[in-house]
């Protein structure tokens, strides 16, 4: 069993990361977050489509460029695992974006206050993902059979994502939110971007705090799918966490870019389901058959599936518009 585990582990990149290197990376993440909050979005305002597009392009470029850092540091295989994990997490995170749109609409959050709420949501998501990632890798190292559980979870998630008609989100039924409202005095009035306000000498939670609670708890649900998925392409802690971090950092801009475009990507859920089914099958095949597809194959599958489903969605949307307005076509 020990020999088999060693052979399987050898199919993934593995390297030592010194404490100062972890500190440097975490400092980079904090600097990027703070700069985005205090320099780019210091004043509350409505994020325009153009602004969101530019910022999304910058965040994606930063995430992709980090592939070069990993390559220069440890070579081709770790770099391949990183970019595969980054693209996988980025694609799976699109569902987060659409759920955020439902949450913000339900609570009628003014557009100019949404960015600050998502900032704290992203910060919390990074912490939660770190916990899931390190716990998941520790479980794999100690109980390799957990790969079977992860693989089955991914296959179930693949079916669920591919065949559900729409995101069913019921904020009022969230048990965490109900508990918080029972123990924490709240108000129904917004006070700018503040999570807490003072009314009649009492400190009360604003609706933005409720929104933040919903955002964080829904991310826990998504992490159940995404963390096992990225563990199918890498078992190296630094690669898994860094790919997650850079994928998550740009989600705020992606929300303002795609938040109202869910109907235009009708086949995206099918594509995401196919990707999850692939990585779930890969994880199970690695455990039962000892077969580990090369990293480049995972990368090709992710890129091809996303390209096909997004292109098919846009073409179908264009066809429907033409049929609805023959004269305009």
Asked if residue 329 lies in contact with residue 322, where contact means CB atoms within 8 angstroms, the answer is: yes
Asked if residue 56 lies in contact with residue 257, where contact means CB atoms within 8 angstroms, the answer is: yes
For residue 256, the enclosing domain spans 2-322
- The pTM score is 0.83
Asked if residue 33 lies in contact with residue 122, where contact means CB atoms within 8 angstroms, the answer is: yes
What is the distance between the alpha carbons of residues 5 and 140, in angstroms, rounded to a whole number?
Answer: 10
What is the distance between the alpha carbons of residues 90 and 93, in angstroms, rounded to a whole number?
Answer: 5
Q: Looking at residue 46, what is its pLDDT? A: 79
The three-class DSSP label of residue 205 is strand
Q: Looking at residue 211, what is its pLDDT? A: 86
- Give pLDDT tens digits for 231-264: 888 989 999 999 999 999 888 888 888 876 767 7
Q: Looking at residue 261, what is its pLDDT? A: 72
Q: How far apart, in Å, are the Cα atoms of 225 and each of 75, 156, 244, 292? A: 28, 9, 13, 20
Q: Looking at residue 320, what is its pLDDT? A: 78
Provide the CA 149 distance to its chain's centre, in angstroms.
21
Query: b/e map of 173-198 (b: 16 or more CB within 10 Å)?
Result: ebeebeeeeeeeebbeebbebebebe
User: CA torsion 112→263→214→140, rounded to 10°?
Assistant: -130
Number of domains in the chain: 1
Instruction: Tell me the average pLDDT of the chain.
Output: 84
Q: Looking at residue 290, what is its pLDDT? A: 76
Asked if residue 102 lies in contact with residue 214, where contact means CB atoms within 8 angstroms, the answer is: no
Whether 69 is covered by a domain: the verdict is yes
- Give pLDDT tens digits for 76-92: 999 999 999 999 999 88
Whether 329 is covered by a domain: the verdict is no
The residues of the chain scoring below 50 in pLDDT are 1-10, 329
Whether 327 is covered by a domain: the verdict is no
Q: Looking at residue 67, what is its pLDDT? A: 96
Two structure tokens written together for 257: 């870019």
Q: Looking at residue 238, what is its pLDDT? A: 96
What is the distance between the alpha carbons of residues 115 and 138, in angstroms, rounded to a whole number?
Answer: 34
Instruction: State the DSSP code for 198.
Output: E
* Nearest to 283, CA basis, from 245, 243, 236, 234: 234
Q: Looking at residue 260, what is its pLDDT? A: 63
């Amino acid at each position: 069993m020990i020999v088999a585990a060693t052979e399987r582990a050898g199919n993934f990149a593995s390297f030592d990361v010194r404490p100062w290197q972890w500190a440097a990376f975490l400092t980079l993440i904090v600097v990027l977050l703070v700069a985005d909050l205090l320099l780019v979005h210091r004043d509350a305002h409505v994020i325009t489509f153009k602004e969101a597009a530019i910022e999304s392009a910058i965040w994606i470029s930063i995430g992709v460029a980090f592939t070069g850092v990993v390559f220069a540091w440890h070579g081709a295989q770790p770099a391949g695992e990183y970019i595969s994990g980054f693209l996988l997490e980025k694609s799976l995170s699109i569902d987060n974006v659409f759920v955020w749109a439902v949450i913000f609409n339900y609570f009628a959050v003014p557009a100019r206050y949404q960015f600050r709420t998502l900032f704290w949501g992203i910060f919390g998501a990074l912490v939660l993902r770190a916990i899931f990632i390190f716990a998941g890798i520790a479980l794999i190292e100690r109980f390799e059979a957990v790969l079977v559980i992860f693989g089955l979870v991914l296959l179930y998630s693949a079916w669920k994502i591919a065949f559900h008609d729409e995101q069913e989100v019921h904020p009022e039924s969230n048990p965490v939110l109900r508990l918080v409202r029972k123990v924490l005095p709240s108000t129904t009035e917004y006070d700018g971007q503040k999570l807490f306000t003072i009314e009649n000498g009492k400190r009360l939670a604003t609706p933005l705090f409720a929104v933040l609670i919903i955002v964080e708890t829904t991310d826990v649900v998504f992490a159940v799918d995404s963390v096992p998925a990225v563990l199918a392409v890498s078992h190296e802690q630094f690669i898994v966490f860094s790919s997650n971090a850079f994928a998550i950092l740009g989600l705020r801009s992606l929300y303002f870019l795609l938040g109202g475009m869910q109907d235009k990507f009708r086949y995206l859920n099918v594509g995401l389901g196919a990707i999850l089914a692939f990585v779930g099958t890969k994880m199970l095949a690695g455990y039962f058959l000892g077969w580990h597809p090369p990293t480049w194959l995972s990368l090709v599958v992710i890129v091809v599936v996303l390209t096909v489903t997004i292109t098919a969605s846009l073409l179908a949307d264009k066809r429907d518009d033409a049929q609805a307005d023959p004269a305009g076509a």
